[in-house]
Chains A and B, each alone.
Chain A
Amino acid sequence: MKEKKELSEEERKRIDEAWRIAGEKIWKRLQYWKKHNPKKYREFWREYWKLEKAFSEDLDKEKKKAK
């Protein structure tokens, strides 16, 4: 297993806070697109699920077969 760099409490808090702010902004941007730019909103999710599908469509097929 690889060694992970140890962070100070302050560094950890700064990173956590950055992710929180980013989450807030991304969420607001998505909500804005949903209301004012539905084409962009759909495009975002289409791209997102396209990647997910490229990653795991064979798994999903196996699950369906198993059912």
Chain B
Amino acid sequence: MENFYLDTNILFGYFVKKALEKRGKHIESKIADFLVVSSKNLKYAVSIVTKAEIVRKLRSEYGLDKNIIEEMWNGFVLEISPSYIKVFQSLEEVYKEIIDIVSEIPMKKRVTNLEHLIIAKKNNLIFVTGDKEIMEKCRVFYDKIIDYKKLRKLYKNEGER
């Protein structure tokens, strides 16, 4: 089965919804619900970059302590069971590819999602992203890029097999 490397945006909803639920506040999150249910059939993957972005946001936006964030991450790993992709490539290698992309295509946003893209590419994973710019412009560099809707459809097909 293919392995789906998730961009960080798709995970924020999961962390917020789950935390607020523990506070007794239920908010709708189709993303979080989907991640939980689909993780039983689909193989997801994250990396150190994903974790760094989640930790930054939870710390800077909500002032959560390091230990709390670490336990939340453990809870996420336990529930969703993503593979943890170790990035063996050097920064030089990763950024050389990023430079190849940004020197050919004008990219407006910062390079974090391109870091994810290169990690996905180096590990032959399907990159799941909500970043339209990546979707529209970067397929020439790596064609295994899908949006959230496509992921849902693949899951549906998987279930119908």
Q: Name which residue of chain B comes closest to A6, CB basis.
A: B78
Contact of A48 among B13, B22, B64, B130 (CB under 8 A): B13
Contact of B22 among A2, A22, A51 (CB under 8 A): A22
What chain A residues lie within 8 Å of B40 (beta carbons)?
Answer: 1-2
Q: Name which residue of chain A comes closest to B71, CB basis.
A: A18
Q: In terms of DSSP, what is the predominant structure of the interface of chain B? A: helix
A-B contact count (CB 8 A): 102
Contact of A26 among B13, B23, B78, B152 (CB under 8 A): B23
Q: How many residues of A contact B (CB 8 A)?
A: 29
Q: How large is the interface on B (under 10, 10 to 19, 20 to 34, 35 or more residues)?
A: 35 or more
Min distance, Cβ B16 to any Cβ of chain A, angstroms: 6
B81 in contact with A2 (CB, 8 Å): yes
The segment out of B24-32, B45-53, B93-101, B110-118 that lies at the interface is: B24-32
A15 to B68, CA, bound (A): 8
Q: Name which residue of chain A comes closest to B28, CB basis.
A: A52
19 further contact pairs, Cβ within 8 A, besides A16-B22, A24-B23: A1-B40, A5-B78, A11-B74, A18-B71, A22-B19, A22-B58, A22-B72, A25-B64, A26-B23, A26-B62, A27-B20, A48-B16, A51-B31, A52-B30, A54-B130, A55-B10, A55-B30, A56-B30, A56-B149
